[in-house]
Structure 1
Amino acid sequence: MRKGYLIIDIGTGNCRVGLATIDGKVHSIYTSDVKYQKDEMFPDAVSFDPQQIFDDIKRLILEVRKASPDIEIKAILSTSQREGIVIFNDNGQALIGLPNVDNRGREWEQQFTHVPNIYQKTGRWPTTVFSALKLVGLRQRQPEIWGKIAAFTSISDWIGYELTHELAYEASQAAETLLYDVEKNKWSNELCDLFGINMNWLPRVRKSGTILGLIKDEFKYFLNLSKNIPFIIGGADTQLAVKGAQPEVDDIVLVSGTTTPIIKIVNDYLIDNNARCWVSRNVNENEYIMETNAGVSGLNYQRLKKVFFPNKSYEEIEDEILALKNPKTIASFGTLVFDKNLPLTRGGFYMDAPAHHELTAADFVFGIIFDIASSIKYNFDVLDEVSPISKEYVFGCGGGFKGKVLPQMISDLINKKVIVKEGYSQASVLGGVIICNDTLGEINAVKDTVKIFEPKGSNNLLNLYEKWLGYRNEINHIYTPENV
């Protein structure tokens, strides 16, 4: 039998369970939607039922096992959305799950905005996406839950607990809590006091690639295994996707999914004096990642495809876009100006009036894709200002790089080669395989490059980018020295 790993990936929109062999090839993968419940005590709060998620994961595991019965599972690893948490009571029962899209702490965000030590210690400004502020919201409005808290951890480390009964918090995800001193690589008494969080709730921090423990007997029987296998600690989904691209220090990785983080791998903890980027722990020990983020990107394309091209494939849509001689729209649907920590609440299409007689659905989709590419360029340029980018290429991974239109736009706008490697569309699963191989002493295969996009020196796109930037700023009332 071929050796492989079971990789569990809990994202914002769905859970995935994949079965991959040690060479990084994904043989079967099944998904289910993550179901959220709206919490009416807050203007914008959602949660999930951990037991429901775990039941879905067990069902998906049976499906991948059935699809790939000839693969011997040597280990299990889990990864998840970076800022989500699961809360436990003193009986070790999972009470509630709070995902990254939960904003129950927003009403108290301003209390912490101007505290300088937060950015210095955590490498991020305080927003409700991070778990410390989610917990503040619980304390303020849901004392019946707050009073039962005995511990909390990341979503992927909760999976580890369910499978081994060992509780830990992986470092790259601990760094997403606002309670962790990223440079010192430990929980911060000062930050816990600031947010009113009991330090006894914080599990031991473990590094990615550590064997958390052997899976429990009941799960061994569930998987129909002859012996207990190890659960290997994974990490944050963005960091695992970056790992899957197999970059080196100083490389740039664009992770194109629901959002698009622009990541630089660095050796030192270097924060920006103007707080224009995040700095976090990488899953590689003694490495950090610097990040700007284009905000919601791929999700906009997915949703608007249903409006303009509900019955066409992405490949067919791209053919129509490539046939456009003079695209007639630009669009702005981003949700964040990252370097200013400024949420965007207005979006739309911009075109000449009256509407052109040759206007087509492809023009609108061009506008959406160009909006994603322009958001990436904007944030790439910010990162370049914070930490100059010397490499002549960037790596691309995630579903956004399946096509050819978006990667070519990005290459033209940032004037860099865009390199896409084998396994890019399941990059977080591939990153999990690499971590398991490293832990168990297996040799990692170097992934081949499957696509390279070279910049074509398109002045038309650069001119269009300036129009896009002006339109985005105008509709969101963003004033810069150039337009005041």
Structure 2
Amino acid sequence: MKYVIGIDLGTSAVKVLLVNQYGRVCGEALQAYPLIHEKSGYSEQQPEEWIKKTTLALKELVAGFEGNINDIEGISFSGQMHGLVLLNEKREILRNAILWNDIRTTAQCERIYNVLGKEQLLQITKNPALEGFTLPKLLWVQENELDIFNNTHVFLLPKDYLRYRMTGQIHTEYSDAAGTLLLDVKEKLWSVEICNLFNINPRICPPLIESHDFIGTITSQFADETGLSKSTKVFAGGADNACGAIGAGILFEGKTLCSIGTSGVILSYEQCTDHELGDEVHCFNHGKENAFYTMGVTLSAGHSLSWFKETFAKGENFETLLHELESIPSGSHGLLYTPYLFGERTPYADADIRGSFIGIDASHKRIDFVRAVIEGVTFSLCETINIFRDGGKKIDSIISIGGGAKNDTWLQIQADIFNAVIMKLENEQGPSIGAAMLAAYGSGWFSSLEDCSNKFIRVATEFHPNKDNVKKYKVLFDIYKSIYTKTKDLNNILKIYRK
């Protein structure tokens, strides 16, 4: 039996997955690492933490593997998007990585529009200038840490830095490069025009490759530290959303994904970039060669629930927190929640908006708040579904992965709010299984990612909309959508009081 490993370098932890030729998960390990929040709106990590924790996770995985270590043929990656890692000429880290959920760069986004223009930016990158993307972060360093900027020899995305440390090779691939605002998405080239306009040397942009491309083998040092064979092949990998799409079989027109992790995503497969959905949603290169996907993002999806647990139920597990969730009726007894803990991405692109509980009553219990959080996150994701439907997309079934797929009541809430059949996968492992599939395809096990998908992915359960709940949620959704406009001015005033 042959095996591959999928590594998902997430925002809060790294997950490694051992998968055999039949798509069965034969081992997994998880190692957490901290976020660094020096100021309100700042979010950073030490890249060395990714290396240490990935090494530990792989060592744990290998220790529990009873087969021949040489049968683990390949490794590939999924990684948090948009993060900025800066290396000097000696390939040393110049500063902490600035992460996707860092929102310090509003002024830099305005600069991008002032210099390049919104229409030209959309024409080249297919995306608006948002605080989470990489180019605004690079410009922030240029404006605030000039010595570091001038010493930058290459920038990388987080998973690309991990892969460099495992192989000694510097690259990025198209699905992650598409989230930088420096890539010409349609032409699959770094935009020299954008680089020149912002005094960025194009040579700091890493070489571009496909997600399934072979990079090399792991270094002797990394093999010794983890117990892996020195002959283990390494493949480029993809952005977390691209890998999540691969791992859910979103490889054909008409396929739609709901992924709820720290952030939440509604993602739809595209064969080309000529959609008519405007700038409220993103368009990125897929991990599948010569394909794309459009998506909308809720910044604080699963994070809303974990924030609530840590704040109001510290020390409890999620099973206890969600106990009797199904007993609370749709609408949480008149309580609504907006998940704007870090601002919002889709459809508002607003870094200053913050979350709200609306309709709090003395009769509300903690479980009402929990259900309201879950419904609010799902309402936010439904805004993207509406954009897709208004743009002509037919969405009557959705594959759900991530934390939102681990609770049947939440899956039914998705079916009712989205008014679509929700499909739960038999062995849902999120982006890490997509990374493993890229390694399997790269290793030559399959002639295409589609063939790999047919072997690896199986639907376990379907959740169908409840007609009565659909009607009730439609009314509540209209109320939910009004909260943003009614609280925007208040949040702009309150932002001066944030630490």
TM-score by length of 2: 0.88
Q: In structure 1, what is the equivalent of residue 42 of structure 2?
A: 45
Does residue 31 of structure 1 match 2:30?
yes
Instruction: Choose the corresponding residue for 2:379, options 334, 351, 374.
Output: 374
Q: In structure 2, what is the equivalent of residue 65 of structure 1?
A: 62
The residue type paired with residue 369 of structure 1 is I
Name the CA shift for 1:245/1:367 in 2 (closer, same or farther; >3 Å): same
Q: Which runs of 5+ in 2 are unaligned?
A: 447-451, 491-499
Q: In structure 2, what is the equivalent of residue 277 of structure 1?
A: 281
How do residues 132-143 of structure 1 correspond to structure 2 at under 5 angstroms?
132-143=135-146
Range that drifts further, 87-96 or 428-437: 87-96
For each residue in 1:396-442, what CA deviation from the matched residue of structure 2 results, as whole angstroms up to 9, or x when unmatched? Answer: 11121110122211211222101111222x22111112111211222
For each residue in 1:27-79, what CA deviation from the matched residue of structure 2 results, as whole angstroms up to 9, or x when unmatched? Answer: 33332333344567xx6434333223212221221111112243632112122
Instruction: Choose the corresponding residue for 1:339, options 347, 355, 366.
Output: 347
In 2, Cα distance between equivalents of 1:391 and 1:108: 36
Which structure is richer in relative contact order (CA contacts within 8 A, separation 6 or more)?
2
Range that drifts further, 319-328 or 389-398: 319-328
Identity %: 20
The residue type paired with residue 20 of structure 1 is V
How do residues 71-470 of structure 1 correspond to structure 2 at under 5 angstroms?
72-96=71-95, 97-113=97-113, 115=117, 116-225=119-228, 227-247=230-250, 248-272=252-276, 274-310=278-314, 313-325=317-329, 327-328=332-333, 329-334=335-340, 335-336=343-344, 338-343=346-351, 345-351=353-359, 355-356=362-363, 359-386=364-391, 388-424=392-428, 426-443=429-446, 444=452, 445-457=455-467, 458=469, 459-470=471-482
For each residue in 1:440-468, what CA deviation from the matched residue of structure 2 results, as whole angstroms up to 9, or x when unmatched? Answer: 22243142211211011122222222222
8 Å contact from structure 2 (residues 101, 299) kept in 1: no
Name the CA shift for 1:206/1:292 in 2 (closer, same or farther; >3 Å): same
Instruction: Give the number of aligned pairs.
Output: 470
Range that drifts further, 85-94 or 463-472: 463-472
1:190 Cα offset (Å): 0.6
8 Å contact from structure 1 (residues 22, 433) kept in 2: no
8 Å contact from structure 1 (residues 14, 31) kept in 2: yes
For each residue in 1:185-233, what CA deviation from the matched residue of structure 2 results, as whole angstroms up to 9, or x when unmatched? Answer: 1111111112221101112100010001122222233344554221111
8 Å contact from structure 2 (residues 50, 162) kept in 1: no
Name the CA shift for 1:344/1:44 in 2 (closer, same or farther; >3 Å): closer
Q: In structure 1, what is the equivalent of residue 3 of structure 2?
A: 4
3-state SS of paired residue (1:8): strand
3-state SS of paired residue (1:167): coil
8 Å contact from structure 2 (residues 17, 25) kept in 1: yes
Name the CA shift for 1:314/1:55 in 2 (closer, same or farther; >3 Å): closer
3-state SS of paired residue (2:422): strand
8 Å contact from structure 1 (residues 44, 103) kept in 2: yes
In 2, Cα distance between equivalents of 1:7 and 1:380: 29
1:380 Cα offset (Å): 0.9
Q: CA RMSD in A?
A: 2.3
In 2, Cα distance between equivalents of 1:64 and 1:100: 28
In 1, Cα distance between equivalents of 2:296 and 2:360: 32
In 1, Cα distance between equivalents of 2:317 and 2:33: 24
1:308 Cα offset (Å): 4.5
In 2, Cα distance between equivalents of 1:226 and 1:100: 33
1:469 Cα offset (Å): 2.3
In 2, Cα distance between equivalents of 1:197 and 1:423: 44
1:311 Cα offset (Å): 6.1
In 2, Cα distance between equivalents of 1:436 and 1:276: 33
In 1, Cα distance between equivalents of 2:425 and 2:64: 26
In 2, Cα distance between equivalents of 1:140 and 1:74: 45
Name the CA shift for 1:38/1:401 in 2 (closer, same or farther; >3 Å): closer
Name the CA shift for 1:377/1:36 in 2 (closer, same or farther; >3 Å): closer
For each residue in 1:255-284, what CA deviation from the matched residue of structure 2 results, as whole angstroms up to 9, or x when unmatched? Answer: 111111111101011254741211110011
1:315 Cα offset (Å): 4.1
Name the CA shift for 1:226/1:347 in 2 (closer, same or farther; >3 Å): closer
3-state SS of paired residue (2:410): helix
Range that drifts further, 461-470 or 261-270: 461-470
In 2, Cα distance between equivalents of 1:461 and 1:36: 35
For each residue in 1:1-51, what CA deviation from the matched residue of structure 2 results, as whole angstroms up to 9, or x when unmatched? Answer: x422232221112222332323333333332333344567xx643433322
In 2, Cα distance between equivalents of 1:220 and 1:446: 27
In 1, Cα distance between equivalents of 2:366 and 2:65: 41
In 1, Cα distance between equivalents of 2:176 and 2:410: 29
Name the CA shift for 1:19/1:143 in 2 (closer, same or farther; >3 Å): same
3-state SS of paired residue (1:263): strand
TM-score by length of 1: 0.91
Q: In structure 2, what is the equivalent of residue 481 of structure 1?
A: none
In 2, Cα distance between equivalents of 1:78 and 1:361: 38
Name the CA shift for 1:307/1:51 in 2 (closer, same or farther; >3 Å): closer
Q: Which has the larger strand fraction? A: 1
In 2, Cα distance between equivalents of 1:139 and 1:346: 28
